[in-house]
Amino acid sequence: MSQFSFQLEATDPETGARAGTWTTPHGPVQTPAFMPVGTLGTVKGLLPDQLRDAGAQMVLANTYHLALRPGSEVVRELGGLHRFMDWDGPILTDSGGFQVFSLAKLRKMDDEKAVFRSHIDGSLLELSPERAVQIQEDLGADCIMCLDECPPANDVPEKIRAAVDRTTLWAKRCRDAQKRDDQALFGINQGGIDEGMRTRSAEALVPLDFPGYAVGGLSVGEAPADMYRTLDFTVHQLPEHKPRYLMGVGRPVDILEAVCRGIDLFDCVMPTRNGRNAMAFTSSGPVRLRNAVHIRDESPLDPECDCIACTRYSRGYLRHLFAAKEMLGGILVSLHNIRFYQKLVHDLRIAVKSGTVAQFRANQLARWNAQP
C-alpha cells in the first residue's frame, strides 16, 4: 500500500485553483504549499523550529550540492536528511536538473549522463538518471525528482525538442532505477514556452504513471506573461488527481497566478535571498530597507504580519541592522518573507475552499500594484 495519497478538497470552477491534502511518510501537506529552499540541508539563517512556526510544512534540498558536500553517503550514515538537518516534516530533493541549466559552463552532457566540474574544487561529479536516484535514496527525502534537462527560455526549437526527449528518456530510467517505496518520484514536464513541445512532454510522461508531476523550465528568463500562457496550456495536460509542482517559482504574483491555473506546490530561493539583501515582501508590496526613507521610521515592516520582525522591531531598526552589516537583519527579514509566503498560500487555500479566488486575486493585485 502506498504511503502517499493526494486528496482534492475543493476546485475553483472559474480559475482552476485547487485545495488539497498530500499525505507523505513524514506528515500531510495542505496545498497550495510553498517550500522554503534549504540547498545544503539548511534554509539559510533560520532554524527548523522557526520555519515550522512561520507555517512551512515542507522544505527542499539540493541533490547536486549535497552530493558534493558532505556526500550523500555521509548523510545516509548519519541517519538521512531528516535527522541530519533536524526537520521532521516532509522534504523534497531536486535531481540536479536545474544545475544542468544554471551550471552549463561547468558540465558536459549526452543521453547517458551529465558530468559536472565541481564549482568547489574542480573534481568531477557524474549524474546519470540512475546516480541521481541513488543519491536521493541515500538522502531519504519524501519526494524525489527525475533527472531532467532544463533548456534556456530562448533556446532554438531543435534543442528544446532534444531536451524534451532526453527528459523523457531519463524519466524512464529514473523510474526503473528506483528501489525505495517510501519516496514519491515526480516526472518533470519540459518544453520551454512552446505548446507543441509541452504537449509532447506530457504525452510521453503521463503514461509512466508517476505519483506527481512538475512543470520545469519556467522562470528561466521568459516574460511573466509567457510563463502564465505556458501554464494555461500545460497544467490541464497533467493528471488532475495527482499533485502538480511548479519548480523554482517565484514572486508572490507568480505564485498567485500559478495557483489560479491549478498548481499545488512551489519552491523558490527568493524569500530568503531577498531577505538577506534587505528586500521584504509585504501586504502592500516590496519594501527595500536600505532606502534612507526608513532611517527614522517607527512603523512595523508589515502591520498585517504576525512574525517577530513585524511585531517587535521597527523599519528604522531593521534598516540600521543592514547599514551596520549585522547578520540579524538578514535573519529577521528572511523569516518575515517566509511567513509572508506561507500566509499567501494559506489565504489562497481558504479562498479556494470558500469560492472567493477571483475576488482574492483581484484584491491582491490591486494592493501589490502588480500586473499579472
Taking phi over 0 as left and psi of -120 to 50 as alpha, with beta for the rest, 23 belongs to beta
Query: Helix H segments across the chain?
Result: 48-53, 63-68, 72-77, 81-85, 97-102, 129-139, 157-177, 195-205, 224-234, 252-259, 270-276, 308-312, 315-323, 327-354, 357-368
Q: From the candidates 94, 138, 148, 264, which is the catalytic residue?
A: 94
For residues 364 and 39, what is the distance between their CA atoms, to the nearest angstrom? 30
Residue 241 DSSP code: T
Q: How far is CA 113 from CA 15, 110, 147, in A?
A: 40, 6, 9
Collect all residues with Cβ–Cβ distance below 8 Å to 295 and sequence separation of at least 6. Answer: 316, 319
Q: From the candidates 138, 264, 267, 302, which is the catalytic residue?
A: 267
For residues 263 and 141, what is the distance between their CA atoms, to the nearest angstrom? 21
Residue 248 DSSP code: T
Q: Is 94 a catalytic residue?
A: yes
Sign of CA dihedral 46, 23, 139, 149: negative
For residues 68 and 302, what is the distance between their CA atoms, to the nearest angstrom? 39
For residues 107 and 34, what is the distance between their CA atoms, to the nearest angstrom? 30
Q: Is 297 a catalytic residue?
A: no
For residues 323 and 101, what is the distance between their CA atoms, to the nearest angstrom? 35
CB contact burial 38-58 (16+ within 10 A = b; e otherwise):
bbebbbbbbebebbebbbbbb
User: Which residues are catalytic, by number?
Assistant: 94, 267
